[in-house]
Structure 1
Amino acid sequence: MTATGMGLSLLGGMGLLLYGISLMSEGLQKIAGHKLRRALGKVADRPLMGVVVGALITILFQSSTATTVILVGLASAAVITLRQCLPVILGADIGTTVTAQLIALRVTEISLPIVAVGASIVFFTKRDRYRRVGQAILGFGLLFLGLKIMAEAMAPLKESVFFREALLHVADRPLLAIVVASIFTFLVHSSAAAVGIIIVLASQGLIDALAAFYFILGANVGTSFTALLASIGSSREAQRVAMAHFLAKLGGTCLVFPLAVPFVSWLTKISSSPSFQVANAHTFFNLFITAVFFPLRNYGVLVLERFLPEKKRPEFEPKYLSEALLDTPSLALGLAYREVTRISAKVLRMYLDVGRALRTSSMAVAEDIMHQEHVIDHLVPKTTAYLTQLLRRPLHRDEFRRGIGLIHVLNDLELVSDILGNRLGVLLQDKIRENIQFSPTGEEELDIMYQEVSIMVRLTHKALVRSDYCLAEQAAGLYPRILKLERGFRTTHIHRLREGIKESELSSRLHLELLNAYLRVSEHMRNIALAVAEEIAEPRVCPAMPPPEAVLAEEPEAEARLEAL
C-alpha cells in the first residue's frame, strides 16, 4: 500500500468511526432520549443511582464527553445541581469503557454483517421505531468497520522505521504522550474514538503496554476539555460541573502516574492480549477514579463552590435554556417547556399584582407590573427562537407537536403581558395618581370579573405546568361565562351612567377599559388552554371534575408559590 493510499484509508476509517458514533448516538437518542430527563430526575437523592444513570447515558451516547456536555447544559439551566452531577460524571467515566472492551473482543471482525443488518432495517422498514433501531445498529457497525479499516491501514506501519521512531520518541516521554493524547481526544471530541485508535496501535505492535497506558491517561484528561469549553459563559453551576470532571480526570492521572510501571506489569499478567491490556487499563483507571472521588464528592462540592462563587443571572435572560443541549432534542424540549411555564408564572403574578394594585393603590406595584412586561418582552423572543432551532432537529412526531404548542402558548402569553403591562399598568397609575373611585356597585362588579378571570388564569397555568388535558379543557370552558359577565356588567355600567351616578361618570373610561382588558386576558387564556389540550397534553377521557375553585384549593396560595421566582 502506498503512503497516499494508507493516509486515505486512515482518514476514511476515522471518518467512518466518528460517523458511526454520531449515527448510533442519534438512533439511540430517538429510541430512549425521552427517558433521559426522567432518569436524570431520579438521581437527586440517590448518588449510587447517579453512577448507574451516568454509565447508561454514556453507553447511549458512546462518549463521556457528550454526557458531561449534557450535564453542563442541565446545570446551566438550573435543572440539576453540582452535587447531583458528580455521581453521574463518575458513572459516565465507567460507561465510556464499554466500547473499549467491545473493541478488545474483536467485534470489528463482524462489523460488515452488523452494517448489513442495520442497513436492511433502515431501508426495508417503514415504521419509525424500527428505523431508529436500524440506525443505531448501522452506526454500531460503522464504528467498528472504521476501526477495522484503520487497523488494516496501520499494519504496514510496523515496517516503517520513521513511524516507529516517532512513536517511541513520544512513548519514551510519558508527559508528552499524555499531552499528545489529550489534544487528539479533544480534537475528535470522543474518548471512545481515541481509545479505539490506541487499541489498534497496541494490537499492531506499534506501541507497548506502558506507552499505551500513558496515551490512555491523556485520552481521559482530553475528554474533559470539551465540557470546559462548553461551560464558558454559562452559569457558575455549569462551570463547576465541567471543572469537577476535569479535576477528577487530572487528579486520577496524578495519583496513578507514579504507579504506572507496576500497574502495567499487573495488567500484562491478567491478559496477554495487547487489546485487552489497553481496554482493561481504561476500565480500571476509571473504576479507580470513581472509588477515590465518590466518597469525597461532598467535599469537592464545597471546594468548587468556594473557588467558583455564584454570579447573578441577568433578569432578562432565560433561566432554563441551554444551547449546548440542542443536539439532545428530548432534553432541550424539556428545558424549553420549563422556561415556558416560568414565563406563564410571571404572567400569572402580573395578573395577581393587578388585583393588589387595585386593592392597595400602590404605585410601586403598578410600576412592577410594567417592569415585568419588559422582562417578558425579552424572554419570549429568546424562548421562541430556541424552540424554532429545536424544531429543526430530529424529533419524534409527538415532540414536534409539543414544540409547536409551546410556541403558540408563548405567543398568547406575550399578548397577555402586553395587556397587563402596557394597558393596565398605565391605567392603574392614572387611577392612583388621580385618586379615581368606582361606585360601590361598579367596584363589586369589577371585583367579580377580576376573580372569575383569576380562576381561569390560575387554572390555565396549572394545566400548563402539569400538562393536564382535563384541567385545560376545564379552563377553556370558563370563557363563555366570563364573556356573558362582561356583557352584563358593561350594560349595568351604562345604566348607572344614564342615572347620573357621579362615581360612574368619573371612572367610566377606566371601568370599561378594565372590563375589556379582563375579557381579552380570558380570550388568550382560552387559546393557551386549547393549545395545552390539543398540542401539549395527551388526550384522555376526563372524569367528572370538581369546580375550578376546588381544584385550585388543592395547592397553597398562588402568591406564596410565585415568590420562588
Structure 2
Amino acid sequence: MHPLLLLLHLAAAVMLLLWAVRMVRTGMERAYGAALRDGLRKAQGGVAGMALAGAVLAVLLQSSTAVGLLAAGFAATGLLGGAAGLAALIGADVGSALVVRILSMDLSALIPVLILVGCVLFLKFEGRQPRQIGRIVLGIGFVLLSLQMIGEATAPLRQSQVLPAVIGYLQGDALTAFALIALLTFGLHSSVAMILLLATLAGAGVLPLDAALPMVLGANLGAGFIAVWLTRDMAPAARSIPLGNLLVRALAALGGLVLLALVPVSPDWLGDGGAAQLVNAHLAFNGLLALAALPFVRPVYRLAERLLREKPVPEVLASQRPQSALDRSTLALPGLALASAKRELLLMGETVEQMFRPVMDLMAGADGARIGAVRDLDTEVNRRHRDIKLFIAEMTRGKLSEDEARRGLELTDVAINMEHIGDIIAKTLLPLADEKNRLRLSFSDEGWAEMLRLHARVLANLQMAMNVLISGDIQSAQQLMREKEAMRQLERDSHARHLKRLQTGNADSIATSNMHLEVVRAFKEINSLLVTVAHPILEEQGLMLKSRLAEPGQDQGEALRLA
C-alpha cells in the first residue's frame, strides 16, 4: 500500500474513533444529562463516595473530562465542595480506564448488531429519548468499527522499514515518547481514544510494550491538561479542581517514568498480548493513583487554590457586562440596522440563558445573595429590551420596504418575549427557589427528576431558538415548533404523576404541591415564548395555520399541523 494511502486510512480510522467517543458522550448527556448532574450533586459517602460517583459517571459518559467539567461547574456555584469535586475527578479517571478496558475486548461480532439497532432507534423513532439511546448504541458500534479499521490500516506497518527505526528511537528515548503522546492526547482531547489507539497498535505487533508504557504515562498526563484548558475562563474555585488533578497526575506520571528507567517491568505481570498488557497498565496506573491520592485531596485542593489565587478585581470592572451591539450609525441603512438589532437580541438571549441555566441549582440550595445576583441580571434584560424597541422604532421613521418593516416588527416581538421570560425567571422561579430554601422544603425524588428533565429541555430549546433567530432555517424552525406540543404533553404528564403522588400521600409532594405546579407552569410558559421565534419563518413559508380550530369539513390532522 502506498504510504500516503496508508496514512489516509489510518487518519480516517482515528477520526472515526474520536467522533464515535464524542457521539456516545453527547447521546448520554442529551438523554440523561439532568439525572447525571443531579447524581453527582447528591453523591454521598465522603471522598470515597465522590470517587465512586465520578467513576460511574465516567463509565456512562466515556469521558473523565466531562465529569471534571460537571464538578467544576458545581464548585463554581457552591453546590459542591472543591475537595469533593477533586475526589470525583480522580475517581472519574479510574472509570475512564475501565471504559478503555471494556472497549479493548474483542467485541467485533457485535458491530453489525450495534449499528443496526442504533440506526433503527435513531431513524425510525420520533421521541428524543429513543433517538439519543440510538445515538449511544451507534457510537459504541462505531468505536468498535474504528478500532477494527485501525488494526487493518496498521497491518502493513509491520513490514515497514521506517517504522522500526522510529520505534527503536522512542524505545531509547522514553522522555520524548512521553512528551509526544502527552501533546497528542491534549490535541485529541480524549485519553480514551489515545489509549485505544495505542492498544490497537500494540495488539498489531507494531508497538512493543517497553516503548508503549512511557506513552501510557504521557497520555495520562495529557488527559490532565484537557480539563485545565477547558475551565480556563471559570472562577478559581472551579479551576482548582482540574488543576489539583493535574498536579497529582503529573507527579504520578513523572514518578512512573523514573520508575520505568530504574526497574524493568515484566510483561507477564500485565496479562497476555500487547493490547491487554497496555490497557491493564493504564488501568493499574489510575487505580494505584486513586488509592494514593484520595487521602490527600483536601491539601492538594488547597495547594491548587493558592496557585490560582488572584488579585482582587475592582468592583466596577468585575461587574462589567458586554456593551450594546446597537450601532446608531446604521439607522439610515435598514439592512445593517436590522443586523445590529439581531446581534443585540443575541446578547439579550445570552443574558436570559445566564438567568435560566442555574435555576434548578438554586432550587437545590442557595443563599439569598446568590439568588439576588441572578435576579440582578433582569435589569440588563430590561435595558436591552428597551434599547432594541427604541432603536427599531427610530429606524422605522425612515423609508423602509415592506419586508424591512415586517422584519423590524418581528425582532421587536422577540425582544418583548425575551423580556417576558426574564420576568418569569425573576418574579416567579427565583422567589420560589428562595421560599423553598428558606422553609427547608424538599421535592419528592420523582417530582425533582421531572423538573430537571423539563428544565434541561427548555434550556435546549432556548439555545435552539437563538440558532433559529440567526439562521432562519426552516427545518430547525419546524423542530422548535414541535417542541411546543411536546412540552404541553410533558406538562400534562407531570401533572398527572403529581396528582398520583398526592393520592398516595407522599409527604414531600404534599408540602411542595403548589410550588411544583408553579415551576412546571413557568417552564411551559417560557417554552411557549421561545417557540414564537419560529412563527415568522413558518408563516412566510405557509407552514402555519391561523387557528388551531378545524373548519367544517377540514381534515383535523391537517388543521393541527404545526399549530
TM bucket normalised to smaller:
0.5 to 0.7
Which position in structure 2 is the counterpart of 1:422? Answer: none
Which position in structure 1 is the counterpart of 2:435? Answer: 462
Which position in structure 2 is the counterpart of 1:185? Answer: 185
Whether 2:456 is the aligned partner of 1:411: answer: no
Contact 1:50 1:88 (8 Å CA) reproduced: yes
Whether 2:75 is the aligned partner of 1:75: answer: yes
CA pair 408-468 structure 1, distance change in 2 beyond 3 A: farther
Contact 2:65 2:226 (8 Å CA) reproduced: yes
CA pair 111-309 structure 1, distance change in 2 beyond 3 A: same
Q: How does 1:442-457 map to 2 (within 5 A)?
A: none
Residue identity matched to 1:219: A
Q: TM-score, normalised by structure 1?
A: 0.60
Residue identity matched to 1:462: E
Whether 2:93 is the aligned partner of 1:93: answer: yes
Residue identity matched to 2:166: A
Contact 1:56 1:95 (8 Å CA) reproduced: yes
Q: CA deviation at 1:6?
A: 1.4
For structure 2, which runs of at least 5 residues remain unmatched after alignment?
A: 323-352, 385-416, 448-486, 504-510, 513-563
* Mapped partners of 2:83, 2:299: distance in 1: 10
Q: CA deviation at 1:71?
A: 2.3
Q: How does 1:290-329 map to 2 (within 5 A)?
A: 290-309=290-309, 314-315=318-319
* Mapped partners of 1:181, 1:349: distance in 2: 47
* Mapped partners of 1:536, 1:342: distance in 2: 27
* Mapped partners of 2:58, 2:10: distance in 1: 26
* Mapped partners of 1:66, 1:153: distance in 2: 30
* Mapped partners of 1:177, 1:45: distance in 2: 39
CA pair 15-74 structure 1, distance change in 2 beyond 3 A: same
Work out which of the residue numbers 340, 358, 367 in structure 2 matches 1:335.
358
Once the two structures are superposed, residues 379-401 of structure 1 have per-residue CA deviations (whole angstroms, 9 ceiling, x without a partner) of 7889xxxxxxxxxxxxxxxxxxx
Q: Secondary structure at the match of 2:139?
A: helix
Q: CA deviation at 1:18?
A: 1.3
Residue identity matched to 1:277: Q
Contact 1:82 1:237 (8 Å CA) reproduced: yes
Q: How does 1:108-507 map to 2 (within 5 A)?
A: 108=108, 110-260=110-260, 265-309=265-309, 314-315=318-319, 335-338=358-361, 376-378=378-380, 408-412=420-424, 462=435
Q: CA deviation at 1:19?
A: 1.4
* Mapped partners of 2:193, 2:93: distance in 1: 14
Which position in structure 2 is the counterpart of 1:24? Answer: 24
Residue identity matched to 1:290: A
CA pair 199-381 structure 1, distance change in 2 beyond 3 A: farther
Q: CA deviation at 1:99?
A: 2.8
Q: CA deviation at 1:32?
A: 2.4
* Mapped partners of 1:348, 1:11: distance in 2: 49
* Mapped partners of 1:345, 1:537: distance in 2: 32
CA pair 172-66 structure 1, distance change in 2 beyond 3 A: farther
Once the two structures are superposed, residues 428-487 of structure 1 have per-residue CA deviations (whole angstroms, 9 ceiling, x without a partner) of xxxxxxxxxxxxxxxxxxxxxxxxxxx9996795369979799xxxxxxxxxxxxxxxxx
Once the two structures are superposed, residues 264-314 of structure 1 have per-residue CA deviations (whole angstroms, 9 ceiling, x without a partner) of 634434422111100100000001110111111122123223333365683
Which position in structure 2 is the counterpart of 1:494? Answer: none
Residue identity matched to 2:203: S
Contact 1:45 1:84 (8 Å CA) reproduced: no
Contact 1:59 1:95 (8 Å CA) reproduced: yes
CA pair 100-33 structure 1, distance change in 2 beyond 3 A: same
Contact 2:75 2:82 (8 Å CA) reproduced: yes
CA pair 137-457 structure 1, distance change in 2 beyond 3 A: closer
* RMSD after superposition: 4.3
Once the two structures are superposed, residues 328-347 of structure 1 have per-residue CA deviations (whole angstroms, 9 ceiling, x without a partner) of xx999763544699999579
* Mapped partners of 2:282, 2:361: distance in 1: 38
Residue identity matched to 2:120: S
Q: Secondary structure at the match of 1:70?
A: helix
Identity of aligned residues (%): 21
Residue identity matched to 1:410: G
Q: CA deviation at 1:152?
A: 0.4
**More moved, 276-285 vs 38-47:** 38-47
Q: How does 1:514-533 map to 2 (within 5 A)?
A: none
Residue identity matched to 1:226: I
Which position in structure 1 is the counterpart of 2:450? Answer: none
Q: Secondary structure at the match of 1:30?
A: helix
Q: Secondary structure at the match of 2:227?
A: helix
* Mapped partners of 2:430, 2:160: distance in 1: 75
Q: Secondary structure at the match of 1:295?
A: helix
* Mapped partners of 1:457, 1:71: distance in 2: 23
* Mapped partners of 2:141, 2:123: distance in 1: 16
Which position in structure 1 is the counterpart of 2:49? Answer: 49
Which position in structure 1 is the counterpart of 2:414? Answer: none
Contact 1:316 1:375 (8 Å CA) reproduced: no
CA pair 208-134 structure 1, distance change in 2 beyond 3 A: same
Residue identity matched to 2:358: L
Equivalent pairs counted in the alignment come to: 393
Once the two structures are superposed, residues 532-555 of structure 1 have per-residue CA deviations (whole angstroms, 9 ceiling, x without a partner) of xx97994334979xxxxx99xxxx
CA pair 169-410 structure 1, distance change in 2 beyond 3 A: same
* Mapped partners of 1:151, 1:131: distance in 2: 30
* Mapped partners of 1:257, 1:27: distance in 2: 36
Once the two structures are superposed, residues 168-191 of structure 1 have per-residue CA deviations (whole angstroms, 9 ceiling, x without a partner) of 222321111111101111111100
Q: Secondary structure at the match of 1:79?
A: coil
CA pair 295-343 structure 1, distance change in 2 beyond 3 A: closer
Q: CA deviation at 1:202?
A: 0.8
Contact 1:157 1:164 (8 Å CA) reproduced: no
* Mapped partners of 2:27, 2:62: distance in 1: 12
For structure 1, which runs of at least 5 residues remain unmatched after alignment?
A: 319-329, 351-371, 383-404, 417-454, 471-530, 545-549, 552-565
Contact 1:37 1:331 (8 Å CA) reproduced: no
Contact 1:108 1:147 (8 Å CA) reproduced: no
* Mapped partners of 1:256, 1:53: distance in 2: 27
CA pair 257-120 structure 1, distance change in 2 beyond 3 A: same
Residue identity matched to 2:276: F
